[in-house]
Amino acid sequence: MVPSGIGAAAPTSHLSLTQVKAQIASLNAKAERVTESYNSARDRLAALQRKEQVTSHELSRDRSALSASENKLAASAAAAYRSGGLDATMSLVSSGSPQTFLDQTSTLEEVAHYQAGQVAAADAAQRTLSADQILHNAQVKQQRSTLAQITAQRNSINNLLNQQKALLGRLTSAARAAYDAQANAMAARELSLRNSYNGPASGQASAAVQFAYNQLGKPYYYGGAGPNSYDCSGLTMRAWGAAGVALPHNAAAQQSGIPAVSLGNLEPGDLVFFGSPAYHVGIYIGSGRMIAAPHTGTVVQIQPIGSPTSAGRP
Q: How far is CA 7 from CA 58, 150, 154, 207, in A?
A: 50, 24, 18, 36
Domains and CATH numbers, the chain: 19-168 (1.10.287), 195-312 (3.90.1720.10)
Report pLDDT for 247. 97
Report pLDDT for 78. 65
Report pLDDT for 239. 98
Length of the chain in residues, anyone? 314
Q: What is the DSSP string of 240-274?
A: HHHTT----S-HHHHHHHS-EE-GGG--TT-EEEE
Report pLDDT for 145. 85
- Beta-carbon contacts of residue 80 (< 8 Å; ≥ 6 apart): 86, 111, 115
Q: How far apart are CA 163 and CA 149, in angstroms?
A: 21
Enumerate the β-bridge partners of residue 282: 272
- Per DSSP, the three-state class of 175 is helix
For the chain, 314 residues long, give each residue's pLDDT as a single digit of tens: 444 444 444 445 688 888 888 888 888 888 888 888 888 888 888 888 888 888 888 878 878 877 777 677 677 666 665 555 444 444 444 444 444 544 555 545 555 555 666 777 777 878 888 888 888 888 888 888 888 888 888 888 888 888 988 888 898 999 899 988 999 999 999 999 998 888 888 899 999 999 999 999 999 999 999 999 999 999 999 999 999 999 999 999 999 999 999 999 999 999 999 999 999 999 999 999 999 999 988 999 999 999 999 999 99
Q: How far apart are CA 31 and CA 165, in angstroms?
A: 14
Report pLDDT for 112. 57
pTM of this prediction exceeds 0.95: no
